[in-house]
Amino acid sequence: MKQRNYIFILLIILIFSITGCSNNDKSNLSKEKNTHKKVELTVSAAASLQDALNDIKAAFQKEHPNVVINYNFGASGALQQQISQGAPVDLFFSAAEDKFDKLIQDGLIDQSKGKDLLGNELVLVVPNDSNKGINSFKDLSRINKLSIGTPEAVPAGKYAQETLENLNVWKTVAGKVVYAKDVRQVLTYVETQNVDAGIVYKTDALISKKVKIAATAGEKTHAPIVYSAGVIKDSTHPKEAQLFYDYLQNENSLKTFTKYGFKGLE
């Protein structure tokens, strides 16, 4: 009788051991699944960065398949306002220092997690088959329509107005200006010949086969063009946001930016 009781107790212990192992295995599998759970990042970036950032995204996601990058491209001023108003953004890549600095001042970006990363040039573009004889900014007096980004929201538009004012051309062309929501829209207006000329970044001009560069603005005609990137303090995925922020600064990413015409600042 004692022996039967002993065997019965052993069987119960064995059953509990097996059940415990099974539960542990399920728990470990669950933890493993959570480790590889996909994380989605929202990156708000200046429209002029679109092509370079799409290349960088493809390379990044090959190395980090569990991190999905969702871009929100637009004018830096509009993007900055969205973030200020609480839009759920993880990282901001601005084409204007003042828009970026505003978020630092407002405590939305930690200065230690932000950096001036790239430079660019401002150019005057015309359609490939233009016969207006536009070879300089001063030739703009001959045209009927000129497109620039809205200066209050689009950094390229602000730089464009500064340039035209410093070259004493603004008063002549102010009534002919067609404002656009970002530089890509300016480029589209020129490509479709809805305007005679447009002022965009050099990087935008280089991606189009339908326009040609008529002139490049001198560096002293406008404020320095600086692109700044930084992690938003309220990011719901700060670790992954920092990972992508660091990736933007590695050698391969900087080569990609250079390929598209951006200039490094160091």
Annotated binding residues: 48, 76, 156, 183, 201
Q: In 36-146, which ranges are continuous DSSP H helix?
A: 50-63, 76-84, 97-105
- What count of other Cβ atoms lies within 10 Å of the Cβ of residue 199? 28
Strands (E), the chain: 39-46, 67-74, 91-94, 109-119, 122-127, 146-149, 177-180, 197-201, 211-216, 226-232, 263-264
Specify whether the backbone of 146 is left (phi greater than 0), alpha (psi in -120 to 50) or beta.
beta
CA separation for the pair 91, 218 (Å, rounded): 31
Q: Residues 6 or more apart from 144 whose CB is under 8 A from it? A: 176, 196
- What count of other Cβ atoms lies within 10 Å of the Cβ of residue 194? 13
CA separation for the pair 242, 240 (Å, rounded): 5
CA separation for the pair 156, 170 (Å, rounded): 15
Residue the block writes with tokens 């603005």: 217
CA separation for the pair 100, 114 (Å, rounded): 9
CA separation for the pair 31, 145 (Å, rounded): 61
The binding site for molybdate comprises 48, 76, 156, 183, 201
Rounded (10°) angle between helices 50-63 and 238-247 = 120
